[in-house]
Amino acid sequence: MTPTTVASPAPSSATREVRVLTADHLEAAIDVLARGFAEEPGNVALIPDAEDRVAMLRIASRLEIGRVMPLGTVHVALVDGTLGGVAVWHPPATGAGSLSGFGRALARSIPAVPGVLRPLPHKGAVLLGHAHRAMPLARSRRRASARASAGTSWHLAFLATAPEFRGRGLARHLLDRQLDRCDQDGTPAWLETTDPVNPPLYESFGFTIVTHVEDAAWLPGLWVMRREPTVGLDGSGS
C-alpha cells in the first residue's frame, strides 16, 4: 500500500541522499511511515480520529520496519540530513523476514497498546458492516497478488513521504534506487495500492495493473500492479 505523490525534484540547493535505513534514523522512519499513511482513505474510514489513527499506524510501522530492516531493504530519502521518505521492500523469497527484529519491535510497542485499543470498537463496526464484501475482496486480492508476484519478484510493501516533504521528488528517487536494481537483475516488482491517485503514478514507472477491484468493501478500490524489468538491447538493464 503506497500513499505518495511523485512530483517535481527538490531545489538544487538541497542535498539529497537515498540509502539503507540504519538505527540512527529508525524513529524518524517510523514517524514518516505513520504520518504518510494517516490520510489514506481506508485508514480514515477505519479510524476517524486523527490522533488515534497515527498512534495505531506508529505501532504497525514499527513492527513492519522491525521485521524488514535487518534484511537491508528499507530505504530512506534524506534532504539536508532530515529523513523525508521511506520505502519498504520485501526481497524475493524472504518469508516472514526477521523474527528477532519483529520481536524487538513488538516489545517496544507494548507501552502504546492501551491507547491503540480506543478506536477498536469503531474499526470493528466498519469491518462488520462490510463483512459481506470483505471475503470476496480477500479472495480477489489473494488471486491478484499471486499473479503479480509470480516467479522471483520484489514487493514494494510501503512507500510514503512526510507531508512537509511532498513535491520534492523523494518518492521518485526511492523508486529509482530499487527499480534500477530490478532492471540490472532482470527481476519484476509488484505492489498494491488502495488510493485512486496512485495507479497512474506507478504506470509512469512501468507498472501495469494486474487487477482492479472497484467494490472493495470500505476501501475506495484496490489496485494490484506488476512491473517487468526493462532490459536494454545489449542485455543490460536500462
Phi and psi, residue 188, nearest 5°: -70, 165
User: Is 175 part of any domain?
Assistant: yes
The number of domains in the chain is: 1
Domain of 48 in residue numbering reads as 16-227
Tell me what pLDDT residue 6 has.
Answer: 43
The alpha carbons of the chain give a radius of gyration, in whole angstroms, of: 18
Cα 74 from Cα 86, distance rounded (Å): 7
Residue 6 lies in a domain: no
**No. of helices (H) and no. of strands (E), the chain:** 9, 7
Q: Grid coordinates 524518524 are at which residue?
A: 28
Residue 226 forms beta bridges with which residues? 190, 208
- Within 8 A by CB and 6+ apart from 217, the residues are 130, 133, 134, 137
Give dist(CA 217, CA 198) in Å, integer.
Answer: 19
Would you give per-residue pLDDT tens digits along the chain (238 residues)? 555 444 434 445 677 899 999 999 999 999 999 999 998 887 887 788 888 888 889 999 998 999 899 999 999 999 999 999 999 999 997 655 444 443 443 444 444 445 555 555 545 554 555 555 667 777 888 888 899 999 999 999 999 999 999 988 999 999 999 999 999 999 999 999 988 889 999 999 999 999 988 876 667 788 999 999 986 434 555 5
Residue 232's pLDDT is what? 46
CB within 8 Å of 150: residues ≥ 6 apart: 188
> How is the beta sheet containing 154-161 ordered, strand by strand?
16-20, 74-79, 82-90, 154-161, 189-193, 222-227, 207-213
Indicate which CATH number applies to the domain containing 115.
3.40.630.30
Q: Which of 177, 142, 174 is nearest to 161 (CA)?
A: 174
- Considering the entire predicted model, what is its pTM? 0.79
In a domain, 116, yes or no: yes
Burial string for 7-23 (b: 16+ CB within 10 Å, else e) reads: eeebeeeeebebeebee
32-to-95, 232, 235 alpha-carbon distances in Å: 25, 35, 38
Q: DSSP label at 4?
A: -
Closest CA to 60 of 13, 100, 116, 6: 116
> Does residue 237 fall inside a structural domain?
no
pLDDT at 217: 64
Report if residue 4 sits inside a domain: no
Question: Strand locations in 80-122, DSSP E?
Answer: 82-90
- In a domain, residue 139? The reply is yes
The answer as to whether 30 is a domain residue is: yes
C-alpha 120/C-alpha 49 separation (Å) is 11
Is residue 194 domain-resident? yes
